[in-house]
Structure 1
Amino acid sequence: MNNTELAKKLVELIGSKDNVLKATNCMTRLRITVKDPSRVKEAEIKTTEGVLGLVKENNAYQIVLGPGKAKKVADICTDELGLTKVNDSLGNWQDNKAAMKALQKEHPVKKAIRTIAEIFIPLIPAIIAAGLFNGFSSLISTLQGQQVLASDGFWKVLQLIFSLIGSGFLGYFAIYTGINSAKQFGATEGMGGMIGAISIGGNIVAISTIFGLYNAEVPLNSILTTGKGGIMGVILGVWILSKIEKAIRKRVPDVLDLILTPFLSLFITALIFVLVIMPVTGFASDLLVSGLSVIIDSANPIVSVISGYVLSALFLPMVLLGLHHGLIPIYAIQLETMGGVSLFPVLAMAGAGQVGAAIAIFLIAKRVDNKNIQKVIAGALPAGFLGVGEPLIYGVTLPLFKPFFTAGLGAGFGGAYIMLTKVLANAWGPSGLVAIPIMKPESMLNFFLGLVISYIGGFVITYFVIKDEDVANV
């Protein structure tokens, strides 16, 4: 079944085009929000050729297709089959009302995490690309410093270009976050981007100095300074903007709406954002970083080993529950305050544990002559090594149940090593071998060794815990 046939089949199984509120994709999943979940044929979707798994949260469905394929199928759904990323149908108000009620029943924590996911998922390709470019730029600079590469000419130009491209996103991350937040909260997108730009504007320091909030000796300890509050402050600021903008628009005459609404909305929001939101979220971010430093960046090796093991071992259950998107703001806060991300490399070990577990199951399956599992694993392992874990999770370890947990226990050893050696990444994205280039140059080798330890840990624990009958009877 090719991608076009798969897209048409999935649209049919989700209850046809008129049952869709919005459709988009993340790195490995087609994400569809429907009006009426009762029209979705979940069992048939799970058994459709090309589908690796299905995750449901109220009326939101995540169809696991794998890297690359998810984007291609999503594009076919929106560009050729008429599904839209934001539903613009006003005719069937009963369906829209039912869909909104379904969303209102969602647990507040899951709703907040889902909103965060919707803000950051479209940015993931740029985050990965920027991390890779910054990583290569940093690697070239390191090799130039060691006189392995020339410090001028071709290598200097290449380093500058890589740095330029990488900083083109990460340097203005707050603006992109503001735009996407405005999409989610119903504010004007350009104005959401302006809130992000305000947060990194140079005049913040001057304003902070006037109000006595700036610490000239240690700028990072200022109550208010450029970038204070980070992207969490931007998200909250844009949410406030959306409320103010809607309230003003209701009261302003139509003839003055285009002039007064944006001016007043931005002016009021900016005052609240700069003088209240940035200092408060900055304090919260500093508190979070301090708290994380106790377990993540601890100078005590015992604490590092224990925290690294536990975080890696528990990460995949968080993925299944959809809670992993809630970690993105923490990654961003670390990147802003530390110049790198230490949590992502630790959690990336979870996928490596799945790879080791799958290899162990493959050998057991070969021993008991279960050719079906051997075939599934052989097809899913390459993606697993490259950091795409869904085929192994949904096709192998989760259906067998026990290996899902033995893989996590094995991954914990790699996480402990990563934490102990203080591996730091330039960004976050896919895990596995393809994540090596986004690590800091001095961390690349230790990240690779962490993967190897996780492969071995997942293999050993799974091989000795899983019995032949566990695999033979599947």
Structure 2
Amino acid sequence: MALNYRECAGNIYNALGKNENLIRAEHCATRLRVIVKDMGDVNVEKLEETEGVQGVVKGNDQLQIIIGAGTVNKVYHEFRRIARLTEYTERKEERRKSISELPGRMIRVVGNVFIPILPAVITAGLLMGIIEAIGKCAPGFAKSDLYNWIELVANTGITYLPVLVAISATRLFGGNLYLGGVIGLLLMHKSLLTSWSAAATPAMVNYWDVLGVHIRRVNYQGHVIPVIIGIWVMCKIEKWMHQHMPEMMDLFITPLVTILVTAFLTMGMIGPVFVKMENWILDITRFTLRLPLGIGAFLCGAAYPLTVIFGTHHMFSVLETGMLAENGKNIWIAVSSSSNFAMSMACLAVFFRAKNKKTKAVALPASMSAALGITEPAIFGINLRYIRPLVCGMIGAAFGAAAGAMMGVYATTYGVTGLLGFLITMDCTREYCLMLLIAGGTAFILTGIFWKQTVPSEEERNMIYAPVSGEVISQEQIPDETFAMGLLGKGVGILPSQKEILAPFDGTVIMTTQTGHAVAVKNAQGVKLMIHVGIDTVELEGNGFQLHVTDGELVKKGQKLMTVDLKLLKEKGYNSVTSIFVTNTKEMKEVIPIAKEKIKAGEPLIRVESNVNQLNKKG
């Protein structure tokens, strides 16, 4: 049965002597830390009997109430509401990330946003491609009510993609899902002109004058990056408001201010940046296409997938409309079809090369969708996530587009690409077929050569690797009673000799602390591992710690999780012993530390054998 966080917090509150005895309360990765006026007024026995409390450690005027990773923050949230605290510890602003880490971090964030919504996007893409093909082959059916209804069902997931992205991003960044949903719906409101129409007929676009800022009355259909940025801003605003708003006003003032400010910043500032980007891309594209010998098409083909990632590819309908008006020939089809088919074949190569069943399950339908012209599932679900398939697809797109340009491939209209492009390129069917073979074949072969998905051996799956180099300390010797007694699980300690804390295995970040001194990760076998740097380092309130990951982020073994200023910890008088323990030890058959005195990051540290049957029962 799930823990009732409010009931647990209420019982703790009563056992502490209520507000009359409270001076300060905060929490770290696993414990609720409370400073009281009179320790004699605390009912320690009642505290220990409270459901959810795993132990109580008593100091002079401080109580450490052990609740556990992932649960303590929820209990603390309820405790703060009950006690009506006005001072509490929250995560400081995220530390500045180095420029070299930013691209990889952004790619991981985009990938993590798309993972939960892939089923909806893939279904929509496949259904759209199929119904489009049927409609082109059977014009009579395309006018029927059945066709219109199926088309409505099919295109909903793609049309309202910003809404799905907004909700998923809100979950990832730790905001209120319903506020995120409102922002997503706002960006697709029926009062706004569709982005496709705005691109084709710029004269239709008008503006609202809001506080001296011109807000375009255009929606964000097809956009991804500006939506994610807007939601990230929303979550920052919401968290700041929760910190600074009095309890009695928090419920209605915080969401009001969060929605208004986020909407203004997204539509008035973030969005316009991407509009300007679109205009620059259009100008550059027009110039590039004029380059001789297919060089321009080669460059445009390589770059086109990037415009899909940024959600700016819809603007090319302006180019296609102009080409058709000029001479009735849409030569942009060589670029868009080569790119989409190359992305499809790169994704298909991943399907054949992948050893992971989940990867295969995503790759095949995503590839089919891309072949029919809907590339978002293939790009965001597979190619961008693994990078090399994306690069191989871009190379295939470049060669396909160049070949198409030199062979004079063109379409008599626009709106469909990939395999469906045969329906609008009947004047050059052979050339179009050869172009797709070049684009798709190149992408498929290169991906097959350069991408490989490694599957860990049984021994590797059961091993936790050292997240940091240093001197190994047995659990009993860790100078913190909570860890030493194993109240939070079995593990070891390491006195670190390096500042980087690395991922101990491939897995998912399931918790980061507000002060950045601890992080919890979970692997595919269900092992939950907490890495807690230093003793009582929560008191530093984040000073000396820099997190490089966020909750819900997928990480690879050896990836940097955090950076610690060991010199600062020493100067401030804090012990830097890092506790590494399996928080769900009771679910494991065995948790056995490897006997070593010194260890290097990446070497075997703890062998864990999971109770598979028990884990499966828990889902």
Q: TM-score, normalised by structure 2?
A: 0.38
Q: Which structure carries more strand by proportion? A: 2
Q: Which structure carries more helix by proportion? A: 1
Greater length-normalized contact order (CA 8 Å, ≥ 6 residues apart): 1
Q: Look at both structures and tell me which one has the larger radius of gyration over its CA atoms.
A: 2
